Amino acid sequence: MNELAVSAGNPVSGKKVYTGNTSYSEGREFGMSKSNWDSQVTQEWNRNAANWHSRSREMWESGSRKTVLPLFARLVAPDSGPVLDAGCGDGYASLKLARQGYRVQGVDISDDMIQLANRQAAGVNGVTFQTGDVTRLPFADGAFAGILSINVVEWTEQPLAALEEFHRLLRPGGVLLLGILGPTAGPRGYSYPRLYGKPTIQNR
């Protein structure tokens, strides 16, 4: 993941965006339908769920994501209001935030990831998980004081739609902490078929 940097945010809404990179490309150029894109992403992350789960603790505690939650905690206080973990995976970050006093809603497109998250959530207060597409979520406008979304938007067919949805869901003055894959990250391999004009489920 790229080093996180502050962007100017929205001068009208006051919503703040913290991101490592703001560029994206359209995935629709290769003709993959919305339903097919979502289905392939879901299947891929269902296949990867167990492997991801085996590595998530290390990633969040001492690996590439170790600075993310401390930064989020500096930007959004537990008593600010509910927070959304958009693309929560197996729920490791959501659960860690909940144990720190946050009220957390975790969402992921992968059913298997959500099953892992719910299994770990037993006995933890202040956190719920559900499957969902981050470009169209069933929450009210301004529902969240903060949104955490790490290595997620590049897996959506239309990254701008995800960003617009995050903007809708943030209350005025809310904070979006966004991370995308760095240029040398291993999962970048999913985007390589684009070089040969083939469909791909990654937008970077």
Tens-digit pLDDT profile for residues 104-158:
999 999 999 999 999 999 999 999 999 999 999 999 999 999 999 999 988 888 8
* Residues contacting residue 4 through CB under 8 Å, at least 6 positions apart: 18, 19, 20, 67, 68, 71, 177, 179
Residue 52 has pLDDT above 70, yes or no: yes
Reported pTM: 0.77
CB 102 within 8 A of CB 78: yes
Q: Which residue has the tokens 């939650």?
A: 69
Residue 202 has pLDDT above 60, yes or no: no
154-179 average pLDDT score: 94
Share of the chain above pLDDT 70, in %: 72
Tens-digit pLDDT profile for residues 61-80:
999 899 999 999 999 999 99
CA angle in degrees (0–180, nearest 5) for 92-121-57: 20
pLDDT at 112: 97
Q: Determine phi and psi for 38, rounding to 5 degrees.
A: -60, -40
CB 145 within 8 A of CB 171: yes
Domains recognised in the chain with CATH numbers: 3-26+34-196 (3.40.50.150)
pLDDT band for position 32 (50/70/90)?
Answer: very low
Whole-number average pLDDT of the chain: 81
